[in-house]
Amino acid sequence: MFRTKLFAAAVALLLPAIAGPGAQAGEVLNRVVSSGTLRVAVMGSLPPYTNMRPDGQMEGYDIDLAKKLAEALKVKPEFIVVDSAGRVAALQTGKADVTISGFARNVQRSLTIAFSDPYLIVPGRILVKTDSPLKNVEDVNNSKYKLSLNRGGNSEPIIAAKFPDVERLRFNTNADGLNALMSGQVDAMAQDAFYHAEQIAKYPGQLRMLEGTYSRQEDAIGAPAGDSEWLRVINLWLEQINATGENKELFKKWFGFDPPKINADF
């Protein structure tokens, strides 16, 4: 009895610490402007999006974008290194004002945080060994094939819906998924086209991409839910760097080729 009460008391003490209302309109925006710093959550290592140099400075496509955003707001950027899950938690707990880190938006995720308009479209494609009999993306959906994918990626439910018949094997990292392909444990690997392009260059003659795409992932800037004013400013800024071609230039600088079109063909 006493133990039950003690447990209830402990839970009651803990709850206010983890539960609370969302941000108020204008709250994050005001804090950024008045403090003069933009706190940006980024992943430590997701080159060429983000990467930490040996001297501890961050670099990459997403980092350059964050610097440009801070410059437009006339504040200083401050980078907070997080892991994949931390990209959300940093916004939920108010540790970061934005997350810019290869962050794919979807409806499910938008229930907990807010997303800007997309700044980069990432096509999902399938990587196979050069001697594979597969030709089109659709050919993969066959129960005799095995497909490796990233566990917990935004693409996991998309791939499950698109390829219901193939045996889907989930790995924690891209490196493990690629190992599985290289050692013949799987016949194909699902990932974004930019990742595949890098691997094909790294293993010349051994890998190729199948024709077609299986998904259109929209990378966007994450913000704390509740502050629509903050989101309004971010979206206006995004529209402008797209219109001026700055975004395209940045992409080309880090990836070496032109980005896919941002507007969808409906």
Partner 1 sequence: MNSFTFNLRAIVPYLGELKMAVVTTVAMSLSTIVLSLAIGLFFAVLRQSRVAPLRWLATAYVEFFRNTPLLVMLYFAYFMMPVIGLRMSPFQSGLVGMTLHFGAYMTEILRAGLIAVPNGQYEAGNSQGMTSLQILRHVVLPQVFRTIYAPLGNQLINIVLGSSLTSAIAVNEIASWMQTAGSDSFRYFETFLIAAIAYAVLCQAINLTRIFIGRALFPDNR
Residues forming contacts to partner 1 in the complex (CB under 8 A) are 15, 18-24, 27-28, 84-85, 88-89, 91-94, 108-109, 111-113, 148, 151-154, 156-157, 169-172, 176, 179-180, 183-185, 224-226
Pairing verdict, β 188-192 and 114-129: antiparallel
What is the identity of the amino acid at 63? Answer: I
Pairing verdict, β 37-43 and 98-99: parallel
Q: How far is the CB of 30 from partner 1 (least distance, A)?
A: 11
Contacts of 80 (CB under 8 A, 6+ apart): 39, 40, 41, 42, 90, 95, 96
Q: How far is the CB of 245 from partner 1 (least distance, A)?
A: 33
Written as six digits, the tokens of 104 are 């794919």
Which CB atom, from 56 or from 184, has the smaller least distance to partner 1?
184
Which CB atom, from 89 or from 262, has the smaller least distance to partner 1?
89
**76, 41 contact by CB (below 8 A):** no
Q: What is the 3-state secondary structure (H, E, C) of 30-70?
A: HHHHHHCEEEEEEECEECCCEEECCCCCEECHHHHHHHHHH
Which CB atom, from 70 or from 178, has the smaller least distance to partner 1?
178
Q: How far is the CB of 56 from partner 1 (least distance, A)?
A: 27
Q: How far is the CB of 21 from partner 1 (least distance, A)?
A: 7
Which CB atom, from 93 or from 240, has the smaller least distance to partner 1?
93
Which CB atom, from 29 or from 134, has the smaller least distance to partner 1?
29
Q: How far is the CB of 99 from partner 1 (least distance, A)?
A: 12
